[in-house]
Structure 1
Amino acid sequence: MRIGLLVYGDMETLSGGYLYNRKLVSYLRRHGDDVTIISLPPRNYQRHLEDNFSNGCLQQIVAADLDILIQDAMVHPSVFLMNQRLSRQVKIPVVTLVHLLSTFDRHPWYSAWFYRAIERRYLQSVAGMIVNSQTTLAQTRQLLHKQLPPHCLAVPAGNNFPETSTDVDAIRQRALANGPLQILVVGNVIRRKGLHVLIQALRELPTEDFQVTVAGRLDMEPEYVKQVQKSIRAAQLQERVILKGPVQGQSLADLYQRHHLMVLPSAYESYGIVYVEAQQFGIPVIGTTAGAAGEIINHGDNGYLITPEDPQALAFLLQKLHDDRELLLTMSRNALAAYIRHPRWDQSCEIIRQYLYAGLDGV
């Protein structure tokens, strides 16, 4: 099958959504499909809306001679009107791959209706839909007033370190060892990921009880990064909170192996691939109740869920896990057990491939 994938920017972009895209493309190609990547330049929302009136993207799609086109739903402002011309002129099925719905992000009250209207119009313009979580599926159902197109659910996997085997004895030794609680944050340093909440929580704890490593890009929201760095200095935590910048591959695996706990108190997560990654290494995770983290984290069993922007609750849990290493060990074992039960990338990508093939004649 000749499949197109429409995205913004570079496919190697460091984020969970782009990782999902790369895994899907790799799987499809390994199974004999011809996949063409069509990339639109990343710009601001207003400029993306103008893309609907340009023929450049439409010409690229026509030239690719596709059987089906997958659109990463993040491109919705560029194509929500163009899809009507696409269906008339090219007559190929368009399927959206929904990682995150902008409608459910935080927008000022006076503009929220606008984003909702654009995204609803976009979802109504496609013939099919791939969603990454039960939470995202419920949100699309709400946005479309239960009028969903043919769809499939394929959750992201966490088996991103196939060469790494988890040593159960090492997990025990790590959990019970004396010393500070080693806390890992894996996520780009943007406000939505909630690093400021963690820093506020740490200010309530003895500094000798914790050590934090943050692995993620520092260039996406420069002003927010400056605020975080200022907060770290004000709390005199420069030696206790280390911003390493982006970390990938074996270097990231090494970080997972050296830490007790992952904390990502996001304002919202549409899924959270890094939660599953952490579980491969027997690491419990503290996330929030906003979004799909609850589909991965079983509160009190393999991690904890707190409400967003609640540093007091986070501080309590961090101190609890520092003081009770047997509890930390139990949760670490439970995290590993949860990872073992979780689907692998090949399973999720095969769900999508079967959906594309089964639906080609019907959408």
Structure 2
Amino acid sequence: MRVALVLAGDIDSASGGFYYDRRLRDRLRERGHAVAVVSLPRGSYRERLAPNLRARRLADRLSGFDVVVEDGLAHPSVLAVNRRVDVPTVALVHMIAWRARAARRTTETDVAGRVRTEIGRRGVAAVERCFLRGVDAAVYNAETTRRDAAGLGGPDRYLVAPPAGDRFEPAIEASGIRTRARSGPLEVTFLGNVVPRKGLDALVGGVARLDPDEVDWRLTVVGDRTVARDYAQSVADAAATAGIDDRIRFAGRLDDEAVAARLRESHVLAVPSRYEPFGMVYLEAMGFGCVPLATTAGGAAEFVRDGESGLLASPDDPCAVARALRDLDDRDRLAEMGVAARRDYEARPGWPETLDRVVDFLETEADAAAAGRRKPREAEP
């Protein structure tokens, strides 16, 4: 099977979605399939619409494959392309773009600015609707994502294949989790790009509400601070204003080995995102017996059992974050939740099992089209 993997930007970029793409590319090759990565421009939303002006050229190229897999991030770039491709197209949807855009905090204070923001969100929803209605099938990273896509007219043929959490394959026993839980200050880690959607400001607002005489805590922020510089600086300024900057360490981006070392030392992984379609980072932390403080906005509730193997907090609610961290400073409870988190992690399928389901799905789509049992959408003449 010849597969084109279409995405926006560099497949080696650091994000959960691109990590999924890389693992899928490698698994397809391990299964004997030829994979070509087709990288389209990644810039502003308007810039990502530009490839539609060269749709016929790209469509001719993609029509030489048996199946075309399109990372959902590239959806603005392939609208006109998909109408011309005469082989099956399968969307690989890691998040719903309009929901991610709606989760951004707007700095607009005037009515006209807010109207422009809302028009932009509706425009993204309209483009994404066209994309999802124009593909033959889809692979979703979570049931929550599938439901959101269905509301936009997503295809009838689909597979839900959540990411695995075994990138680090940590070896830790229940006894070690319990021992760590009862030692030192409450070690909290934030892991992700420092951008508004990830909710670091709500986390800093939450720890600022903790009485240091009651909860002795430390926060380590792991993630790129250059993606949204103004936002990152505003969070650092808020920490300084609250007088807690001496308890917060901004570690920047770390390689996998350093990330694993940090999670091995952490009690809590706190990422109170405004929208997290799945939250692979929560699952990876659970492998270390690290208790996730996750968001209710998205798919984390599909694998984080609130109050048992982790805690779920409403986004944009520093008070909820503070309450959760106070609860987790009960070290006996922290220990048992850490053990439960590790147990739930162990019960999840690993990457080979997850990706084999995706490869099987793609093979079915390609074989059915080749045999004439299932025709892709009719391409434009």
- Whether TM exceeds 0.5 here: the answer is yes
| Superposed CA offset, 1:166-211 (max 9, x none) | 132221110112x310001111110000000011111111346100
Q: Distance in 1 between matches of 2:186 and 2:60?
A: 55
Q: Identify the residue that residue 255 of structure 2 maps to in structure 1.
A: 248
- Aligned residue type for 2:121: A
Q: How does 1:16-35 map to 2 (within 5 A)?
A: 16-35=16-35
Say yes or no: does 1:105 pair with 2:105.
Answer: no
Say yes or no: does 1:213 pair with 2:214.
Answer: no
Q: Distance in 2 between matches of 1:92 and 1:29?
A: 20
| Superposed CA offset, 1:73-114 (max 9, x none) | 1111111122112x2xxx211111000111223443233321
Q: Identify the residue that residue 222 of structure 1 maps to in structure 2.
A: 229
Contact map agreement 2:178 2:336 (CA 8 A) in 1: no
Q: Identify the residue that residue 322 of structure 2 maps to in structure 1.
A: 315
Q: How does 1:115-154 map to 2 (within 5 A)?
A: 115-144=124-153, 148-154=155-161
Say yes or no: does 1:189 pair with 2:194.
Answer: yes
| Superposed CA offset, 1:250-290 (max 9, x none) | 21111111010110100000100001101100111111111
Q: Identify the residue that residue 66 of structure 1 maps to in structure 2.
A: 65
Q: Identify the residue that residue 13 of structure 2 maps to in structure 1.
A: 13
| Superposed CA offset, 1:296-351 (max 9, x none) | 211100111111111111111212211x1000011001000100111111111011
1:60 is displaced (CA, Å) by: 4.5
Q: Identify the residue that residue 300 of structure 1 maps to in structure 2.
A: 307
Contact map agreement 2:142 2:299 (CA 8 A) in 1: yes
Task: Please report the TM-score for the alignment, with normalisation by the length of structure 2.
Answer: 0.89
Give the secondary-structure state (helix, strand or coil) at the position aligned to 1:148.
Answer: coil
Give the secondary-structure state (helix, strand or coil) at the position aligned to 1:301.
Answer: coil
Tell me the C-alpha RMSD between the 2 structures: 1.5
**Structure 1 stretches of 4+ moved >4 Å:** none
Give the secondary-structure state (helix, strand or coil) at the position aligned to 1:220.
Answer: coil
In the alignment, which of 198, 205, 208 is matched to residue 203 of structure 1? 208
1:142 is displaced (CA, Å) by: 1.1
Q: How many residues end up aligned between the 2 structures?
A: 352
In the alignment, which of 342, 353, 357 is matched to residue 351 of structure 1? 357
Q: Distance in 2 between matches of 1:47 and 1:316?
A: 42
Q: Distance in 2 between matches of 1:343 and 1:287?
A: 20
| Superposed CA offset, 1:105-127 (max 9, x none) | 34432333211111111111111
Unaligned runs of 5+ in 2: 103-116, 369-373, 377-381
Contact map agreement 2:192 2:222 (CA 8 A) in 1: yes
Give the secondary-structure state (helix, strand or coil) at the position aligned to 1:143.
Answer: coil
Task: Please report the TM-score for the alignment, with normalisation by the length of structure 1.
Answer: 0.93
Say yes or no: does 1:92 pair with 2:87.
Answer: yes
Give the secondary-structure state (helix, strand or coil) at the position aligned to 1:218.
Answer: coil
Q: Distance in 2 between matches of 1:309 and 1:354?
A: 40
Unaligned runs of 5+ in 1: none
Give the secondary-structure state (helix, strand or coil) at the position aligned to 2:250.
Answer: strand
1:294 is displaced (CA, Å) by: 0.6
Q: Distance in 2 between matches of 1:241 and 1:60?
A: 50
- Aligned residue type for 1:98: V
Q: Distance in 2 between matches of 1:218 and 1:57?
A: 35
